[in-house]
Chains A and B, each alone.
Chain A
Amino acid sequence: MTGFDELEPQTPELVRPYVITKGRGLPDEEQLSLITLVTAVADRQQRPTRLSPEEQSLLELCSAGYLSVAEIAGHTQLPLGVVKILLAALTEGGYLITRPPVQRAPVADREILEEVLNGLRAKFG
């Protein structure tokens, strides 16, 4: 698989997580969950110049489509907490758009479950 292997793991000893996050705290779970879908805003003119290398690469990663927060952490091999903090900062800065997961509610659940069931049957049935 191309792409995946080219991403070198971050050496934890080299840069401490609190340096990468500039000491910021974790965002609300409501704001960024594991399965919140994230993408870069389309307007490339606004590409900032004063972002850290980690923020730049996250933005790059998110520029071709939607990825979940968990996937972004997986591809960058940064700790999940670090990724969440950086994504929250980039979202606040207006560089990223997020799409929250399905809210759980009895009616929504029934519809979603029906859809998941049908989807699984269609794929594997």
Chain B
Amino acid sequence: MVSGPSLDEQAYVREGASQTAVKILVVGHFAVGKTTFIGAISEIPPLSTEETMTRAAEAVDDLKGVQGKTTTTVAMDFGRLTISDRVVLYLFGTPGQQRFVQMWEDMARGALGALVLVDPERLADSFAVIDLIEQYGLDYAIAVNHFDGSPLRDETALRDALDLLDDTPVVTCDARDEQSSAEALITLVRHLQDRAH
């Protein structure tokens, strides 16, 4: 077990008069750049935590040949950004598999909204994620993670493919870039404001 060394001072939430937390989800399929995105924005090195799943996943995880394996772990990455004396923002990222539903319950509850990271070359991989987001009734924006920085060739085709509502924002971003990632997040928050009115 850990011996409990004190963490770096920066590791702690800055003390504010009545600081409290909010969260935004950063979701997307495997290897789309969620951790990179969170790392670009977070003021702490991104952390990850896992939950041990027992039995729940048995029906969907093929356990043939691995008898005796009764647990599986689901990882979730997250980072933090101090917004003001009053508000600290957490960004949570996890893959969008249906079998991670238990973790989604935890993540989605009380979330302001979600940013869906999308790889334009692997659009079909995003369907499951968007399904889950809609299932939990979260408002979202799409951020196309575009590594080479070239403009998105065909937004209309992407909107059609993902079956997006007209007012769902679509932005391109480079998840490695702090500025670019922040702009995607700002687009989402503005959209959430529109929806809140």
Contact = CB atoms under 8 A, between A and B. Distances in A.
Q: Do A and B bind each other?
A: yes
A61 B47 CA distance: 15
Task: State the majority secondary structure of interface residues on A.
Answer: helix
B78 A79 contact: no
Interface in A91-120: 99-102, 104, 106, 109-110, 112-120
Given A66-B13, A70-B78, A71-B80, A81 B110 contact: no
Contacts of B189: 113, 116-117, 120
Dominant SS among interface residues on chain B: mixed
Contacts of A112: 22, 87, 112
Nearest to B52: A79
Given A35-B23, A99-B19, A116-B189, A3 B6 contact: yes
Nearest to A56: B4
B3 to A, nearest CB: 7
Interface stretch (B144-152, B153-161, B175-183): B175-183
Contacts of A79: 49-52, 73
B181 to A, nearest CB: 8
A34 B13 contact: no
B15 A115 contact: no
Contacts of B66: none
Contacts of A7: 2, 5
Contacts of A36: 21
B19 A70 contact: no
B193 A74 contact: no
Given A68-B90, A80-B49, A121 B186 contact: yes
Contact of B45 (A4, A29, A118): A4
A17 B21 contact: no
A6 interface: yes
A10 B3 CA distance: 11
B1 interface: yes
A64 B7 contact: yes
B41 to A, nearest CB: 8
B8 A101 contact: no
A26 to B, nearest CB: 10
Interface of B: 1-9, 11-13, 15, 19-23, 44-45, 47-52, 73, 76, 78, 80-84, 86-90, 92, 106-107, 109-110, 112, 178-179, 182-183, 185-186, 189-190, 192-193, 196-197
12 contacts: A3-B11, A53-B1, A61-B4, A65-B13, A68-B80, A71-B78, A71-B80, A75-B11, A79-B51, A115-B84, A118-B84, A124-B179
Interface of A: 1-4, 6-8, 10, 12, 15, 17, 29, 33-37, 53-54, 56-57, 59-61, 63-68, 70-71, 73-77, 79-81, 83, 99-102, 104, 106, 109-110, 112-121, 123-124
